[in-house]
C-alpha cells in the first residue's frame, strides 16, 4: 500500500530527524516546520519529550504537505537527518528505497556508494568554530547545500533562505545567538558544496 | 502550534478563567502555555501549578461551581490521584463549563502505565472527547465547554502523546472573554449531598448520559459519505489520523466506509445501531483499550482489541494500523515493521546533575542497602544501581516503611535508603512520612531537593517561592514540614561535596537505627534549570592525567556523560562541551587520575 500522491497540489515531503537528548533535534524540526509554514505549506511534526530527553534517543517526524497523521511510517521517509551516527543503522528503516540521509559522523566516514547517504563531521566543525552546541545547525546547513532546495531542482522542501528567515523569527530578540546560529548554518553550507 | 499549545489556546479562546495542573509528560506544556497567553493578552485568569492533581482538580472544579469556566490538566496517572473528586463531581455536576484534560501515553513513552483515561470517564460516567490532531483538540475544547454547560456535567478531553507533542500549523481564533462573575448559589442538597440524595443525583447522571449519547454535535463523523461499502473502519484519536492517511494513500477510502468517532463514551446509540446493521464487518482502531468496541452491543462482526485483532498493549503505530487495515480489506501491504523504539542509548542523568552524587554517596554509605525510589529525573538512578523500586508518586517512603516492617518481622536488619524528589515529596510524600514516624519505621529518606520539577520542564515546586509565571509566592519550608511530621533527625547537605555528604548519610543511618525515620535533604540546584543558574557553584576545570589506566570505574560506576572512554587511547577523557565543572568526579577516581586545574596563579 505504498501510496503515490500525484493528486496532491504540491509534492509532499516526510523527514525523520534522529539524535540524542540535548543535541537539538527538536530545535531543527521546529525550524524546518517554521520554514514550511512560511511557504504556506501545511505541516505536521511529532516530537519526543520526557525521559528520553535526558540523553536518550530522540526522534522527530516532519511531514510537509497534506497529511493527517504526524508519524512517518517505516519505509516512507524521503529523508533522514541523523545527529548521532550510532542511531543511523537503527533509523534508516524509516527511509524509502530512494530516500536520502545526512549523517553527523566521525571524520573518515565515507559517503555510501549509492550516493544518497551524505556524511559530515558536524561536531568537529562546530567545535573548531568555537560553537560546539551548534552541530545541529552545521548539519542542517550541510543538508541545505548538499541536497539543494526543490524549488531550485534539489531535494529539500525548503531553501536556505527559508531556514535563515525561520531562525531570525525564532531568535530575533537574541542578536548574538542569531548571528552564531547563522554562522553555523553557513559553515555547514560551505562544506556541503561539492 | 504544539498540540498542548493548541489545547491551551482553545482554553483561553473559550474564556476559561481557572486553570490548574500538576506537571506530567505529555500534559505539562498545557498550563505553561495558558500562562503565556494570559500574560501576553492580559487575561483575567487564575493559573496554578498545584501541589498534586487532586488539589488541582478540586480548585478548578470549585471554580466551575461559581459559574466560571475552568479546566484541570494532567497526565493519565495523575487522574488516578484525582479520581476521588472525579467520581463525586460527576454526580454533583457543574455550573460553569469544566474540562478534565487527561493526557494518555500509549507506548508508554514516559509513564508507569499506558492506562486509558476513557475507562476512567466510563467509570465516573462522564463524556469523553478524543481529538485526532492538534487542531481538532483545539476545536474540541470549545465544544467540550458547550457540552459541559448544556448538561451541567464535567467533560473529559483525552489527548494522547502523539497529539500533545505533535506540531501543526494552526491559525489561532478569536479570544471570546466571558463577562461572568463568580457567583456561588448555595444548594446543599446538591453541593453537599448526603448518600440519600446521591442516589437521586446518580439517576440524573444516567439520564444526562443517555441524552449525551444522542447529542448531535459530538456524533461520529462519516469521513467518506457516499462510498458504498460492505466494511467499515471506525477509529478515534490519533488512530483515526493514521487510518485516514492510510486509507487515502492506498485508495481504500473508495471501498471502505470510514467513521471518525469524536466522543468514544458515551458512544452515540444511533451510530451503534447504524454500523451494526449496515456493515458485514467492522474494524475498530483506538488507543489504548477497546472502549468504543465494548459499547457495540453485538460484537460478532466487530474486530478490535477485545476480538484479539488489534494488539492490546503498546502504541497503535501507523505501521500496525496499516497492516490491520490491509488484512481487514483483504489487500496486500503493510508488511513493513516499525523501527524498534529506543535504539542503543539509554537516558541518563545530565552531566553535573547533583542526583548522581547523591546516588553515589548512598551506595557508599549503605552498600548493601535497599533503595526504594520514586518518579522524576532521579528514577534514572537505576543506571547507577541506586534505585531498586519505583511504584508511583510518593511510594518511596511507604515502600521504605513496608520493607522495614517486613524485615523486622523476620528479625532481619537492612539499611534502607529511600530517595524522592522535592516536587514528589510535596505531591504525595507527606502522609507516608507521618505514617512512618507513627509506626516507628527505621530508614533514611533522602529528599533530592533541586527546587524544581525537572523531568517535566522545570516547573516551580511549593518550596520554590515562585508561581507559574515566575512571580514571587510564599515558599513552603521543607525542614519545618519534615519536622512537623514528627521526624527528629533532619539535616541539609550538599551532594556535590561528596565526602561530607557521604559522612552525613552514615550519620543519618546511625540515627535512623535509633530513632525512626531520619531525613537528609540533598539540596543543590538542577544544572539545567535556567531559573536557578545563579545558585550553581563556581565551575571547576577538571582534566584527566596521564595516570588514567582505563579501568573505567568512573564511566561504569559514576556514569557522568562528560566522562568518555576513548577506545583508541584506552583511557578516559573529559568532554569539554558536556562537563559542567561540578568537580564531583575528583572524588570518584580510585587512583586520583582526575585532577582540577586551578585558575592561573591562584589557589582557592
Ligand atoms: S534536568 Fe536537572 S534534575 Fe534532571 S537529570 Fe538533568 S540536572 Fe538532573
Ligand atoms: S566535573 Fe566531572 S562529574 Fe562534573 S560534569 Fe564534569 S566530568 Fe562530570
Tell me the ipTM for this assembly.
0.88
Distance B352 CA to ligand 1 centre (A): 8
Q: % helix / strand / coil in chain B, to the nearest 5? A: 40, 15, 40
Task: Give the residue whose CA is nearest to atom 7 of ligand 1.
Answer: B353
DSSP β-ladder status, B541-544 and B594-597: antiparallel
Distance CA B75, CA B160 (A): 9
Chain A, 135-194: which have a CB under 8 Å from a chain B CB?
A: none
Ordered alpha helix ranges (H), B180-267: 188-191, 195-212, 237-250
Class in CATH terms, A13-192: alpha beta
Q: Once rounded to an integer, what is the mean pLDDT over residues A129-133?
A: 88
pLDDT at A76 over 70: yes
What is the model's pLDDT at position B600? 65
**Burial class (CB within 10 angstroms; exposed 0-12, middle 13-18, buried 19+) of B474:** exposed
pLDDT at B98 over 60: yes
ω into A128 cis (within 30 of 0)? no
Torsion of CA B522, B524, B530, B533, to 10 degrees: 170
Q: Which residue of B has its CA nearest to A95?
A: B339
Task: Give the residue whose CA is nearest to atom 3 of ligand 2.
Answer: B585
Query: Pick from A50, A95, A76, A68: which is nearest to B239 by CA?
Result: A68
Distance CA A34, CA A43 (A): 9
Q: Does the CA dihedral B551-B556-B562-B567 come out positive or negative?
A: positive
Distance CA A64, CA A62 (A): 7
- Let me know how many helices (H) and strands (E) chain B has, helices first: 21, 22
**CB environment B357-373: b (16+ within 10 A), e (fewer):** bbbbbbbbbbeebbbbb
Q: Once rounded to an integer, what is the mean pLDDT over residues B241-270?
A: 96
The residue that leads in pLDDT, B531 or A32, is: A32
Cβ–Cβ < 8 Å for B155, B99 = yes
pLDDT in tens, B169-216: 999 999 987 889 999 999 999 999 999 899 999 999 999 999 999 999
Distance CA B562, CA B581 (A): 10
Q: Write the CB contacts of B410 (distance below 8 Å, at least 6 apart in sequence).
A: none
Ligand 2 neighbourhood includes B390 CB (under 6 angstroms): no
Q: Once rounded to an integer, what is the mean pLDDT over residues A57-71?
A: 94
Domains of chain B and CATH, by start: 3-216 (3.40.50.970), 219-329 (3.40.50.920), 354-535 (3.40.50.970), 541-597 (3.30.70.20)
Distance CA B344, CA B557 (A): 19
Ligand 1 residue neighbourhood (C-beta within 6 Å): A 54; B 349-350, 353, 355, 377, 450, 454, 526-528
Q: Which residue of A has its CA nearest to B335?
A: A1
Q: Once rounded to an integer, what is the mean pLDDT over residues B469-497?
A: 96
- Average pLDDT of the residues of chain B: 94
Q: pLDDT-based confidence at B603, cuts 50/70/90?
A: very low
Name the strand (E) or helix (H) holding A18: strand A13-20
pLDDT in tens, B272-317: 999 999 999 999 999 999 999 999 999 999 999 999 999 999 999 9
pLDDT at B426 over 90: yes
ω into B108 cis (within 30 of 0)? yes
Ligand nearest to the CA of B578: 2
What is the model's pLDDT at position A2? 39
What is the model's pLDDT at position B467? 92
Nearest CB among A42, A51, A70 relative to B162 is that of A70
Q: pLDDT-based confidence at B342, cuts 50/70/90?
A: low
Q: Which residue of B has its CA nearest to A53?
A: B347
Residues in chain B: 604
Ligand 2 neighbourhood includes B302 CB (under 6 angstroms): no
Shortest distance between the Cα of A65 and any Cα of chain B, in A, equals 11
- Structural domain boundaries of chain A? 13-192
Task: Give the residue whose CA is nearest to atom 5 of ligand 1.
Answer: B349
Q: Write the CB contacts of B501 (distance below 8 Å, at least 6 apart in sequence).
A: B357, B358, B361, B493, B494, B495, B522
pLDDT at B593 over 50: yes
Cβ neighbours around B436 below 10 Å, total: 26
**Burial class (CB within 10 angstroms; exposed 0-12, middle 13-18, buried 19+) of B87:** middle
Q: Once rounded to an integer, what is the mean pLDDT over residues B578-594?
A: 93
A67 touches chain B (CB under 8 A): yes
Amino acid at each position: 500500500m505504498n501510496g503515490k500522491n500525484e493528486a496532491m497540489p504540491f509534492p509532499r515531503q516526510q523527514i525523520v530527524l534522529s539524535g540524542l537528548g540535548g543535541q537539538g533535534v527538536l530545535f531543527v524540526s521546529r525550524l524546518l516546520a517554521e520554514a514550511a509554514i512560511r511557504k504556506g505549506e501545511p505541516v505536521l511534526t511529532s516530537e519526543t519529550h520526557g525521559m528520553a530527553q535526558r540523553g536518550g534517543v530522540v526522534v522527530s517526524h516532519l511531514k510537509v504537505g497534506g497529511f493527517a497523521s504526524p508519524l512517518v511510517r517505516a519505509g516512507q521517509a524521503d529523508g533522514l537527518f541523523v545527529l548521532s551516527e550510532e542511531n543511523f543503522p537503527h533509523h534508516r528503516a524509516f527511509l524509502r528505497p530512494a530516500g536520502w540521509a545526512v549523517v553527523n559522523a566521525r571524520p573518515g566516514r565515507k559517503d555510501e556508494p549509492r550516493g544518497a547517504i551524505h556524511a559530515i563531521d558536524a561536531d568537529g566543525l562546530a567545535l573548531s568554530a568555537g560553537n560546539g552546541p551548534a552541530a545541529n545547525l552545521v548539519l542542517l546547513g550541510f543538508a541545505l547545500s548538499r541536497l539543494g532546495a526543490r524549488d531550485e531542482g534539489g531535494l529539500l522542501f525548503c531553501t536556505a533562505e527559508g531556514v535563515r528567515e525561520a531562525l531570525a523569527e525564532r531568535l530575533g530578540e537574541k542578536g548574538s545567538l542569531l548571528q552564531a546560529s547563522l554562522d553555523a548554518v553557513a559553515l555547514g553550507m560551505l562544506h556541503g558544496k561539492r | 502550534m504544539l498540540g498542548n499549545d493548541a489545547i491551551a489556546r482553545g482554553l483561553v479562546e473559550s474564556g476559561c478563567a481557572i486553570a490548574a495542573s500538576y506537571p506530567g509528560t505529555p500534559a505539562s506544556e498545557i498550563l505553561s502555555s495558558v500562562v503565556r497567553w494570559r500574560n501576553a493578552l492580559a487575561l483575567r485568569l487564575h493559573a496554578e501549578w498545584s501541589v498534586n492533581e487532586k488539589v488541582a482538580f478540586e480548585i478548578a472544579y470549585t471554580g466551575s461551581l461559581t459559574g466560571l469556566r475552568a479546566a484541570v490538566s494532567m497526565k493519565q496517572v495523575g487522574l488516578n490521584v484525582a479520581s476521588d473528586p472525579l467520581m463525586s463531581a460527576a454526580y454533583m455536576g457543574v455550573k460553569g463549563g469544566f474540562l478534565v484534560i487527561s493526557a494518555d501515553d500509549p507506548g508508554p513513552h514516559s509513564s508507569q502505565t499506558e492506562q486509558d483515561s476513557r475507562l476512567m470517564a466510563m467509570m465516573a460516567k462522564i463524556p469523553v472527547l478524543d481529538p485526532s490532531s492538534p487542531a481538532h483538540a483545539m476545536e474540541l475544547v470549545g465544544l467540550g465547554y458547550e457540552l459541559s454547560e448544556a448538561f451541567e456535567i464535567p467533560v473529559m478531553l483525552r489527548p494522547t502523546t502523539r497529539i500533545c507533542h505533535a506540531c501543526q500549523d494552526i491559525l489561532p481564533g478569536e479570544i471570546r472573554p466571558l463577562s461572568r462573575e463568580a457567583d456561588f448559589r448555595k444548594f446543599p442538597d446538591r453541593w453537599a449531598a448526603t448518600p440519600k440524595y446521591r442516589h437521586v443525583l446518580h439517576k440524573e447522571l444516567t439520564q444526562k448520559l443517555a441524552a449525551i449519547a444522542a447529542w448531535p454535535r459530538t456524533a461520529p463523523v462519516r469521513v467518506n459519505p457516499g462510498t458504498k461499502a460492505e466494511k467499515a473502519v471506525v477509529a478515534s484519536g490519533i488512530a483515526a489520523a493514521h487510518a485516514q492517511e492510510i486509507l487515502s494513500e492506498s485508495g481504500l477510502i473508495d471501498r471502505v466506509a470510514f467513521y471518525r468517532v469524536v466522543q468514544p463514551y458515551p458512544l452515540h446509540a444511533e451510530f451503534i445501531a447504524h454500523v451494526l446493521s449496515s456493515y458485514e464487518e467492522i474494524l475498530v482502531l483506538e488507543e489504548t483499550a477497546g472502549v468504543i468496541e465494548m459499547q457495540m452491543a453485538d460484537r460478532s462482526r466487530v474486530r478490535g482489541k477485545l476480538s484479539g485483532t488489534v494488539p492490546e498493549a503498546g502504541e497503535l503505530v501507523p505501521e500496525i494500523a496499516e497492516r490491520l487495515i490491509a488484512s481487514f480489506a483483504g489487500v496486500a501491504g503493510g508488511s513493513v515493521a516499525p523501527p524498534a523504539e529506543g535504539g542503543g542509548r539509554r537516558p541518563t542523568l545530565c552531566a553535573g546533575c547533583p542526583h548522581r552524587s547523591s546516588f553515589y554517596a548512598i551506595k557508599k554509605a549503605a552498600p548493601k542497602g535497599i533503595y526504594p525510589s520514586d518518579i522524576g529525573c532521579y528514577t534514572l538512578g537505576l543506571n547507577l544501581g541506586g534505585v531498586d523500586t519505583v511504584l508511583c508518586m510518593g511510594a518511596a517512603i511507604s515502600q521504605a516503611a513496608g520493607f522495614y516492617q517486613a524485615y523486622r518481622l523476620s528479625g532481619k536488619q537492612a539499611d534502607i535508603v529511600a530517595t524522592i524528589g522535592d516536587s514528589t515529596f510535596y505531591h504525595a510524600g507527606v502522609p507516608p512520612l507521618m505514617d512512618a514516624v507513627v509506626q516507628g519505621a527505621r530508614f533514611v529518606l533522602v529528599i533530592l531537593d533541586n527546587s524544581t520539577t525537572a523531568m517535566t520542564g522545570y516547573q516551580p515546586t511549593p518550596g520554590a517561592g515562585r508561581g507559574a509565571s515566575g512571580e514571587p509566592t510564599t515558599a513552603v519550608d521543607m525542614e519545618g514540614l519534615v519536622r512537623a511530621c514528627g521526624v527528629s533527625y533532619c539535616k541539609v547537605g550538599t551532594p556535590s561535596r561528596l565526602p561530607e555528604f557521604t559522612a552525613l548519610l552514615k550519620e543519618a543511618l546511625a540515627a535512623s537505627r535509633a530513632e525512626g525515620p531520619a531525613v537528609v535533604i540533598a539540596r543543590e540546584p538542577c544544572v539545567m534549570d535556567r531559573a536557578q543558574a545563579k545558585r550553581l557553584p563556581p565551575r571547576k576545570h577538571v582534566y584527566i592525567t596521564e595516570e588514567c589506566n582505563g579501568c573505567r570505574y568512573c564511566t561504569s560506576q559514576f556514569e557522568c556523560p562528560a566522562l568518555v572512554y576513548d577506545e583508541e587511547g584506552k583511557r578516559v577523557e573529559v568532554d569539554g562541551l558536556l562537563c559542567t565543572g561540578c568537580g564531583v568526579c575528583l572524588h570518584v577516581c580510585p587512583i586520583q587520575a582526575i585532577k582540577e586545574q586551578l585558575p592561573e596563579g591562584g589557589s582557592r
